[in-house]
Structure 1
Amino acid sequence: MAKNATVTVRQVRSGLGRKKDQIATLTGLGLGKLNRERTLEDTPAVRGMIHKVKHLVEVVDQA
């Protein structure tokens, strides 16, 4: 990964009715409402969080 690499994530599905840990992961990513986007540092921890809720989010852009 390049220095200062970022990844933009958009929430595309609701967290309602999901497990508490998945809702907490969305919150940790700075999401929680549909179509909300966040640009985050591309780290293994963030990638793991994205993988955990991959059915609720989409990766919009990698820079």
Structure 2
Amino acid sequence: MKTRAHLIKEQYLVNYSEQSYQLRENYLCKTPSGAAQIVLGRSSNGWTEWANMDGKTLSDVYR
């Protein structure tokens, strides 16, 4: 993923754990899945990956 590689190179995306990264500042993505793919480095469904502090996913809250 070209965008992800660029964000890592420019240090906007930094190691968070062995399995994911964390953005150091806001980065606008067109979809929740696109954002999850950048952070996780794999195909993913952002509607089920992103969750709030109560464990409710985007799908639970907005669909």
Same fold (TM over 0.5): no
Looking at both structures, which has the greater relative contact order when contacts are Cα pairs under 8 Å and sequence separation is at least 6?
A: 1
Scaled by the length of structure 1, the TM-score of the pair is: 0.27
- From the two aligned structures, give the one with the greater helix fraction: 2
